[in-house]
Amino acid sequence: MGLESVVGDQYCDLIIEFCNLLIHFVLLISRQGKVRLTKWYSPYSQKERTKVIRELSGVILTRGPKLCNFVEWRGYKVVYKRYASLYFCMCTDQDDNELEVLEIIHHYVEILDRYFGSVCELDLIFNFHKAYYILDELLIAGELQESSKKTVARLIAAQDALVETAKEQASSISNIIAQATK
């Protein structure tokens, strides 16, 4: 099933004009300015990435607590939200729906919470790769791909199980080898 069958050929062009990336990048910064997660959906060179992180942490970490969650920055809009000691930031275009992005951030945090069982910054430090895996199930190429927390949790659990099985196999094989060569 392709695009054409959903909206009709003549609308494809329109949609192409209309749509672009919802989210350009995702950043997780701690209150001390340490980076906990970065995900880039628009092309930024490594050098630009460091610059962006530096600039944004300067802007966002200094904002007061009761202010709105949006910062205008270089013609883009950065939506951020603080959860405990972590700032979750997502960058979108000027005219995107900021409230939706805020909701996506919250959605991600809830999934993390469910996965780690009341998540804290330490969980995300020591299991940063898990945070990435979950984000990859939630967003793809800057677009939301799954709106069900349950589905994401199920997919992650299935993949974790795969890893476990592989580990067990590896250890049992090495056991067998060890046994055999005793």
Partner 1 sequence: MNPFSSGTRLRDMIRAIRACKTAAEERAVVRKESAAIRASINENDQDYRHRNLAKLMFIHMLGYPTHFGQMECLKLIASAGFPEKRIGYLGLMLLLDERQEVLMLVTNSLKQDLNHSNQYIVGLALCALGNICSAEMARDLAPEVERLLQFRDPNIRKKWAFPRSVPDLMGVDVSGDWNKRTNQLWNTVILASLWALWLERNNRIFDGVEGDKCTEGLVKTLKDVVNSPYSPEYDIAGITDPFLHIRLLKLLRVLGQGDADSSDCMNDILAQVATKTESNKNAGNAILYECVETIMSIEDNGGLRVLAINILGRFLSNRDNNIRYVALNMLMKAITVDAQAVQRHRATILECVKDSDASIRKRALELVYLLVNESNVKPLTKELIDYLEVSDQEFKGDLTAKICSIVAKFSLEKIWYIDQMLKVLTEAGNFVKDEVWHALIVVISNASDLHGYTVRALYRAFQTSEQESLVRVAVWCIGEYGDMLVNNVGMLDVEDPITVTESDAVDVVEIAIKRHTSDFTTKAMAFIAMLKLSSRFPSCSERIKDIIVQYKGNLVLELQQRSLEFNSIIAKHQNIRSALVERMPVLDEATFMGRRAGSMPATVSTSTTTSINIPNGVSKPSAAPLVDLLDLSSDDTPAVPSSTGGGGADFLQDLLGVDLSPAPNQPGMKPALQNGTDVLLDLLSIGDPPAQSSLSTSDILSSVQDNKLPVAPLDGLLSPSAPATPVIDLLDGFAVKPPTPENNGSAFPSIVAFESSLLKLLFNFSKPPGNPQTTLIQATFTNLSSDSFTDFIFQAAVPKFLQLHLDPASGNTLPASGNGSITQSLKVTNSQHGKKSLVMRIKIAFKMNNKDVLEEGQINNFPRGL
Q: Binding to partner 1 (CB under 8 A): which residues in 4-43?
A: 5-8, 10-12, 14-16, 18-22, 34-43
- Say whether residue 75 binds partner 1 (CB under 8 A): no
Q: Which of 58, 87, 102, 176 binds partner 1 (CB under 8 A)?
A: 102
Q: Which residues sit opposite 173 in a β-bridge?
A: none
Name which of 118 and 139 has its Cβ closer to partner 1: 139
User: How many amino acids of this chain bind partner 1 (CB under 8 A)?
Assistant: 76
- The CA distance from 174 to 74, in Å, is 55
- Say whether residue 151 binds partner 1 (CB under 8 A): yes
Cβ 44 to partner 1 shortest distance, Å: 7
Q: Which of 75, 126, 179, 180 binds partner 1 (CB under 8 A)?
A: 126
Which one-letter amino acid corresponds to residue 29?
I
- Say whether residue 144 binds partner 1 (CB under 8 A): yes
- Say whether residue 121 binds partner 1 (CB under 8 A): no
